[in-house]
Amino acid sequence: MEKSASKCFTCGREAYFYSAYLKQNLCKKHFEKMLIRRVRSALISKGYKQKAFRMTDDGSAAYRMLKFVFKKDDNGTVTLENSVLEDFALAVLEYFLAKKKPAHQIGLKTRFNPLYQVSEEELYAFLDMKGIKYKKRTHGGREGYLLDFMKDVEKRRPGGMLSAVKMGEKIGVI
Ligand SMILES: [Zn+2]
């Protein structure tokens, strides 16, 4: 995709990011709006009405974004965890390939992963845009191999990882 030639689907300004989720090009402003709305609505759609959350500072990019969106660590009764789309897509894939019990759950009563529909690519693009420092994750071994496979699928079929996660969610795997 030639970024320079692309325009924001919403306002026509220069595009910053192609959203596989919406299948649209977005400028910085609308990329931010879209991403934050998705993170917040993930919580709301699962019935979490709290405004205060506990966050887990593991130094990850995911934590940095949650910190940005939810502003402060608080003594809420729900803990926000830092797993992202790739973690859940892997969990679903491993469930079907190897009958592995998923290593991540989107949410249990007092724990939730608001970034379960946010990819590492989106996460990094967001933090870059905000000038927030972070460390990229590396994936080795079997995990790296499976992620490469999924990214390959993603190239040909944008949104493929998300579809896998939505299916896993629907049948109650994650
Ligand atoms: Zn725009």
pLDDT tens per residue across span 22-51: 889 999 999 999 999 999 999 998 888 777
The residue segments making up the domain with residue 125 are 44-170
Rounded (10°) angle between helices 160-170 and 85-98: 70
Ligand 1 center from residue 104 Cα (angstroms): 34
At residue 1, the pLDDT reads 46
> How many independent structural domains does the chain possess?
1
Residue 34: inside a domain, yes or no? no
Ligand 1 center from residue 121 Cα (angstroms): 19
Residue 38: inside a domain, yes or no? no
Ligand 1 center from residue 8 Cα (angstroms): 5
Residue 144: inside a domain, yes or no? yes
Residue 71: inside a domain, yes or no? yes
Ligand 1 center from residue 52 Cα (angstroms): 30
Residue 80: inside a domain, yes or no? yes
Report pTM.
0.91
Residue 31: inside a domain, yes or no? no
Residue 23: inside a domain, yes or no? no
> Cβ distance 122 to 35 under 8 Å?
yes
> Which structure tokens are listed for 13?
């300004």
pLDDT tens per residue across span 102-141: 888 999 888 999 999 999 999 999 999 999 999 999 999 9
DSSP string of 99-124, one letter each residue: -PPPS--SEETTEE-TTTT--HHHHH
In this structure, the strands spanning 53-55 and 24-26 are unpaired
